[in-house]
Every structure is written in C-alpha cells, then in structure tokens.
Chains A and B, each alone.
Chain A
Amino acid sequence: MTATERLANILVWLIAGATAIFLLTPLVVTVLVSFGSSAIFTLPPPSWSLRWYQRLLVIRDLLPALLTSVQIAAISTATSLTLGGLAAIALARTRFPGRDGVVAYLTSPLMLPGLVIGIALLQGFRAIGLKDVWGSLVLAHIVVTMPYAVRTLYSALGLFDFTLIDAARTLGCSPVTAILRVLLPNLAPAFITSAIFAFLASMDNYAVSIFFTNAWTKTLPIQMLNLAEEQPDPTIAAISTLLIALVLALLVFLERIIGLRRITEI
C-alpha cells in the first residue's frame, strides 16, 4: 500500500465514522432531552426525570392524533400493498414495451414534492365535493404509500422463479393454493419490508396531510409540529423517543427475519 492509499483509507474511515455520529446525533439528543428534567432542553440535563413521559398522558389531542395516524397508516398500507402487489405481479409476469414507464408512473409520488401532491388532491377532492377528513386522508395516504409497495414487491418478484408455481400446479395444487403456499411465503420478506416502510411513510407524512386535517382531526406529525411551534417543551422529545424505540424494535425484528443488508436494496 502506498502512502496516498493509506491516507485515502484513513480519510474514508474518518469520514464514515463522523457521518455515523452525525446521522445519530438528532436521535441521541432527542432521547437525552426526553429523560432530562430541564424544560429548556439543557444538555447535558441537570438531572434525570420521567416528567415529560407523564405529561404525554396529560396533553390533550396527542393520543387521539396518534390513534388517527396509526389507523390511517394501517388502512392505507393494507390497501396499497393489495393494489400494488397485484400490479407488481402483473408487471413482473408480462413483457411489453413501456413496462418500465408503468413502474415509474406507479412509483412517481415518491419523486414529486409532497406539497404538490397535497394541493392537487385538495383541489380534486373539493371538485368532487369530498369534505370528509378521514376519507380524504386515507385516499391521499394510499397515493403516498403506493410507491413503497410497488417498488419493493416488483423488484422481489423480478427475482422470483415463476416456474415454481407451475411445478406446484403439476403436483396437484389449485391455482389459489399454489399462490398461497408458494408465492406468498417466498415474497413474505418483501411484503414485510415494504409494509414497514409504507407504514412509516404514512405515519411521518406531513406535506400531504396538512391540506386535509382540521381543528378536530389531526395526524400525529401535524399535532407534533403544532406543539413544537407553540409550546416547545421536551414532551415532543418524549413522544419522539417512544417512536424511535418503536422503529428500533421493528428494525431488530427485520434483522432477525430478513437481514438489514436486504433493506438497503429499497
């Protein structure tokens, strides 16, 4: 190894280490602040306490917002996984010119600014007289989550050997059984990964939801941003810490059953 190479090597590892610390900084800060007793985010905190977690239960509107978010994320994820899964099967099984274009179309909400999608849907829903907050949020979140479903399932199906289904059929399986017992178990990791990312994308969505929520029905990100702007205290850090813990648990679960390396393919 020459001196230049050794220098480059050291530089690569230094930057990678710094980047890892940089990436984790906001999470560590959030967790530390949430367990501190100081109301003005002093770091390190003067003493440790759980008061912000106790306040979580007292603050009005936070729990309903969390509930709304979870329900909308669950419904939209399930719907887009069903629609997106069927579309992914159709696209992976057939060859036709413009197929990549169709995939790009179904995943394009990911590349477009969320605000633009939100405004377009706001005007569209208004034009057809849809005023219901819940209905608007679910319809919009299906659009937001669809790309995650299609992209992951489509690339996983690209690697799936469809002759396995023919083999199962030859061995006496009905078409439905063949799909349930051969295709689904093979695709389970892709389904779980895309479900988790679709769910998190819906839970975290602000730019689209802001156009549909009102004073009575708010999603969690909107309620959190309201709190952060109006009365910033570590209560937000406490709820954030709980969310980080939830995500960490999901990642450990993913690592156990799929392996984190595969997630990077998303």
Chain B
Amino acid sequence: MKARRAFDPVLLLAAPALAYMALVFALPVLILIIGSFKGPGGPTTAAYTAFLSDAFNWRVIGNTLRVAALTSLVCLVLGYPTAVALARSRGAVQAGLLIAIILPLSVGVIVKAFAWQIVLRRDGIVSAVLVATGVWDAPQLMLFTEPGLVIGAANVFLPFMILPIYSVLKLIDPNLQASAATLGAPPLYRFFKLALPMAMPGIISGAAIVFSLSAAMYVIPTLLIGDRFQTLATLTARAFLLMRNEQLGSTTATILLVLAVSIVMLSARLVRAAGDSR
C-alpha cells in the first residue's frame, strides 16, 4: 500500500477544466458583479438605489417572481402525480411516459414557444377547448396574456419537476405504503406523514430548478407575451441589446444572479433539512 501523500497527482487531470472555467466563466461573472458597483468616484451602490427607487422596476421584479412562482406551482401540481405514475408503471406504459417527458426535453425551447403561439391564439386549440366545454362563451386570445405565458413556461419546464421527484420516488420501498396500511394508517395520513415527506427532497429540488429557470427565461416571454410585460431577464437583455445601457444591464443581471444563487442555496438547505427529519 502506498504511503498517503498530501497531494494526489491524479488531481492534476482536473486542472485544465478548472482553469478554463475560472478564466472563461468565474472571472467574467465576478467582473460583471463588480462592474455594477462601479461609480465615477469609487465603489457605490447608486445603480441599485436608483433601480430600486423606480416603481416600474418593482413591477418588473414582481412580474418575475409571480410568473416563476405560478409556473413552479403548475409544474408541481402536474408533475408530482406524473412522477408517481412513472414510478408505479412498468413496461410499455413507462416507456411511453418517459418518451413524453424526454422527447420534449430535448426539443428546442424556440420550437416549443413557437408552437404555443399557435395553440394560444384566438382560434387556437386552448380557446376552442374552453369554448366547447362551456368555460368561455366566446373565443378569446390567450397569447400575450400572463396565463398564456405560465402555460407555455410550465410546458417547457415540467420535465425538470418530474425527473427529480421520480428519482427520489423510485428509491422508496413500495412495501412501506403497504406496511403503513397494514398497521392501520388511513390513506390521507399516509400521504401527508409518509409519501409526501419522503418525496420532499425531490419536490424541493424540482421546484428550485423550475423556479430559477422560469425566473431567468427569455425566449418564452419574448414569443408568448411581448414587450409590454417585462421581467428581470427580458429587461437585462433589452438594456444590453436595445437600450445600450450597460450599467442598468449589469445591475439587473446581478440581481438575477443573486436570486438564482439564493434559490439554489436555500433549496440545498431545505433538502438537507427534509432528509434529516425523515
């Protein structure tokens, strides 16, 4: 047996990737963050105070968080039962469900957003179904509305909710439910005290991924709701590509970055807490 060395030369294999990501990813992101604090007379938070003192920008932040929260909720309501079905199914049914999840996952977001433009039109499928079922009296436009945006976003991000929940569910011993039932636990009690807590780590990470993806989405709002409705991501892109206002762009980009990082860290803590309380 070799003596334990302080440094294992195998680690050097990681050096190219680490160096590349430091130079071409971490450093530029750091410079971007520092740039948003740059002022004519030294470091300042002026860009942030200016941004946050504008009522319009608060609406933008509100839009971003609301759409992300609604999208995550829709994904959870549809995704959890689907993950359960996926974990319970076998053979052809399971293969069919998997294809329904993975095929859309690997098709580009522009393709899907474009298709939703067609589906959500006044003479589109959604409108037709709602009129036929009597929910609406007359055909209505769903495109360029917030519900339309949430439907499109939920459609694109659903696989990111289903797969993490499924990966937790498939590890749970199916006999647990049966033993709890044998011991006399009523169904609702079993759901809230057994099934849900055990699935919690998957639900939390799925919700965190969907929330950050939908808070940062750019293509979907561009095609499904348009310029009238701004989110932090669309405002960031506008600031850079149209308004040529780099200070504003760096500021909104940093806010978006802080939002994304805090969601990731919060969800990691919650997953650990959920794991401990099992």
Are A115's CB and B216's CB within 8 A? yes
Are A115's CB and B78's CB within 8 A? no
Are A243's CB and B82's CB within 8 A? no
Cβ–Cβ < 8 Å partners of A140 in chain B? 24
Residue of B nearest to A13 (CB): B85
The distance in angstroms between the C-alpha atoms of A225 and B24, with both chains bound, is 27
Secondary structure dominating the interface of B = helix
The answer to whether A251 has its CB under 8 Å from any CB of chain B is: yes
Are B110's CB and A224's CB within 8 A? yes
Min CB gap A68→B, angstroms:
15
CB contact between A206 and one of B78, B218, B236, B241 (< 8 Å): that residue: B218
Are A26's CB and B98's CB within 8 A? no
Considering the complex, which residues of chain B in the window 139-192 have a beta carbon less than 8 Å from any beta carbon of chain A? 155, 158-159, 162-163, 166-167, 186-188, 191
With A206-B219, A210-B241, A260-B102 as contacts: A43 and B125 at CB distance below 8 Å: yes
Considering the complex, which residues of chain A in the window 236-253 have a beta carbon less than 8 Å from any beta carbon of chain B? 236-237, 240, 243-244, 247-248, 250-251
Residue of B nearest to A12 (CB): B81
Residue of B nearest to A144 (CB): B25
Are A120's CB and B17's CB within 8 A? no
Are B21's CB and A105's CB within 8 A? yes
Are A263's CB and B102's CB within 8 A? yes
Count B-side interface residues using an 8 Å CB cutoff: 91
Cβ–Cβ < 8 Å partners of B155 in chain A? 22-23, 25-26
The answer to whether A143 has its CB under 8 Å from any CB of chain B is: yes
Min CB gap B99→A, angstroms:
7
The answer to whether B212 has its CB under 8 Å from any CB of chain A is: yes
13 sample A-B contacts, Cβ–Cβ < 8 Å, listed by A number = A5-B187, A26-B155, A42-B123, A43-B118, A83-B16, A86-B16, A112-B260, A124-B28, A143-B25, A200-B106, A232-B117, A236-B114, A251-B99
Query: Which residues on B are within 8 Å of A, measured CB to CB?
Result: 8, 10-14, 16-18, 20-21, 24-29, 31-32, 35, 77-79, 81-82, 84-86, 88, 94-104, 106-112, 114-119, 121, 123-125, 155, 158-159, 162-163, 166-167, 186-188, 191, 209, 212, 215-216, 218-219, 222-223, 233, 236-237, 240-241, 246, 249-250, 253-254, 256-257, 260-261, 264
